[in-house]
Amino acid sequence: MIHPRILVDVRNINMSTTLLGHAMSTPILVAPTSMHKLAHPEGEVATARAAAACNILMALSYSASCTMEEVASSCDAVRFYQLYVYKRRDVTAGIVKRAESNGYKAIVLTVDTPRLGKREADIKNKMIVPKVPNFELVPVDIDSKTQEKGSGVEAFAYETLDSSLNWKDIEWLKSITHLPILIKGVLTAEDARKAVEAGVSGIVVSNHGARQLDHSPAPISVLEEIVCAVSKAVPVLVDGGIRRGTDVFKALALGADAVMIGRPVIFGLAAHGEKGVRKVIEMLKNELELTMALAGCPCVKDITRNHVKTLGDRRRSLM
Element (H, E) at 259: strand 258-261
Q: How far is CA 53 from CA 25, 56, 187, in A?
A: 10, 8, 32
Which stretches of 146-205 are assigned E, i.e. beta strand? 181-186, 202-205
Enter the pTM of the model.
0.90
Catalytic site includes residue 208: yes
Residues 239, 21, 67, 39, CA torsion sign: positive
What are the residue boundaries of the structural domains of the chain, listed by start? 21-114+161-284
Q: Alpha-carbon distance 223 to 187, whole Å?
A: 8
Residues above pLDDT 70, as percent of the chain: 87
115 is known to lie in a ligand binding site: no
According to DSSP, the β-strands at 22-24 and 17-19 are: antiparallel
240 is known to lie in a ligand binding site: yes
65 is known to lie in a ligand binding site: no
* pLDDT at residue 153 tops 70: no
pLDDT in tens, 254-264: 999 999 999 99
Q: Which of 22, 36, 40, 208 is catalytic?
A: 208
84 is known to lie in a ligand binding site: yes
**Average pLDDT of the residues in 105-125:** 80
211 is known to lie in a ligand binding site: yes
pLDDT at 209: 72
Distance, first Cα to last Cα, the chain = 19
**Pair 84, 110: CB distance under 8 Å:** yes
**Which range, of 5-9, 86-90, 104-108, 296-300, averages the lowest pLDDT?**
86-90
208 is known to lie in a ligand binding site: yes
Q: Would you call 197 exposed, middle or buried from its count of C-beta atoms within 10 A (0-12, 13-18, 19+)?
A: exposed
- Residue 113 sits at φ, ψ, to 5 deg, of -130, 60
pLDDT in tens, 27-85: 999 999 999 999 999 999 999 999 999 999 999 999 899 999 999 999 999 999 999 99
Superfamily of domain 21-114+161-284: Aldolase class I (3.20.20.70)
103: pLDDT confidence band, cut at 50, 70 and 90? very high
